[in-house]
Amino acid sequence: MTTTVERHPLFTHAFVEDPYPVYARLRDEEPVSRARSPHGFDMWTLSRYEDIKESLTDPRLSRDLRNAPAGVIEYTGGTDLLTNKNLLSVDPPDHTRMRKTVQATFTNRRVKEFEGWISELVDRLLDGMEGRSEVDLVHAFGVALPLTVLCRVMGIPNSDRLNFRRWMDGLVQSGAGGTSTDSLRESQRNLAEYCKSLITMKRADPGDDLMTVLVKALDEDDVLSEEEVVGITFHLLIAGHETTIGLLTSGLMLLLTHPEQRRLLENDPSLWPLAVDEAMRFESPLGVTLAVALEDVTYSGRTVPAGEVVAGLLQAGNRDPRRYRDADVFDVTRSDNPHLGFGAGIHRCVGALLSLAEARIALPAVFNRFPHMALTVEPEQLRWMPTPLFRQLQQLPVRLGE
């Protein structure tokens, strides 16, 4: 059976609600499949683990927008937009220089230093839920925690959170073609102007935060340009924030719908790190990675021509039975778990350690505080964000007590 560009299932409503049957069919029948995005450009999707993993480290693929076809340029706004000069849109050596400046904030040692105040923040959020019979965990916890953590790490005033959350929603929803180009450009412009205002603020009032590090790299070390500081800030606000929301809320949902796995964690809390990784594999928040072939490349026997877009379907790879035993089973004891949830290679999520730390602190804290928590709707009634770019719940309504 051949999947044509016109009727590719990747952008349908049924796919959003349950993408995994589509992924299974693509892996078995068309592991390299040509698809037309709702934004008007074609891409070649990879659905098998080994192909996706290879593509993430393949030097024949480029992330640099200057190499992208016209349709991608038209959708993203091109290289002149400040928000597009970010870590996901450049190749080495520029990527190496830019990432080195950011990486020091997200080392294992530095993230360990954050854990104390992250735990305090989790407790405050849970205190705010006490006494309420029902809450939506997406908004009361899943969004609030990573947004507040990111503000503190980057040195952003908490009072600005609602504004850039609104702008980020516009960008994320554009992934399904659900917003107009004008709306997308407005969100990009607003975020760019906001990032520029942060640079001005940190010049006047530096602190122990990532924005101050970036401004120093701009003003004193001459390592970054102002455009790159704006792009990096934009990238961290989007990628770090949305990925962690997805991990937290999907992790909560999975344990609410798999009580036997929850009991394993109650009996053996040492399993929590494995459980977080398994949540990242089983419901990966990041759905698609995009790159451009610099030359003809072949995956699973099919050749993608030079100049065309390669789309790695991370969620499909993370459920590939060719790599994982019982791939469609959520198993918190799974130790052989080299998932692709944070990507791989030089473009692996720079904030992965921070995201994992938040989940490893937050998830057990929620269930320890509210041991009788349960969904107030049937699992099949839960709704997901209408885009293949992110796998993120729109709501997670729960009853906190018996």
pLDDT at position 121: 96
138 within domain boundaries: yes
pLDDT band at 167; cut points 50, 70, 90 = low
61 within domain boundaries: yes
pLDDT at position 335: 95
Query: Where in the sequence is the domain holding 228, given as residue range(s)?
Result: 9-399
3 within domain boundaries: no
Distance CA 278, CA 230 (A): 34
Distance CA 133, CA 376 (A): 11
41 within domain boundaries: yes
| 17-33 residue pLDDT tens | 889 999 999 999 999 99
The sheet with strand 374-375 has its strands ordered as 134-136, 397-399, 374-375
Contact 311, 46 (CB under 8 A): yes
36 within domain boundaries: yes
| 81-129 residue pLDDT tens | 777 778 888 899 999 999 999 998 899 999 999 999 999 999 999 999 9
Q: What is the domain count for the chain? A: 1
C-alpha dihedral sign at 228, 233, 234, 239: positive
Distance CA 21, CA 18 (A): 7
Q: Give 66's contacts (C-beta < 8 A, 6+ positions apart).
A: 79
Q: What's the CATH code of the domain at 364?
A: 1.10.630.10
4 within domain boundaries: no
20 within domain boundaries: yes
What percent of the chain is modeled with pLDDT above 90? 62
1 within domain boundaries: no
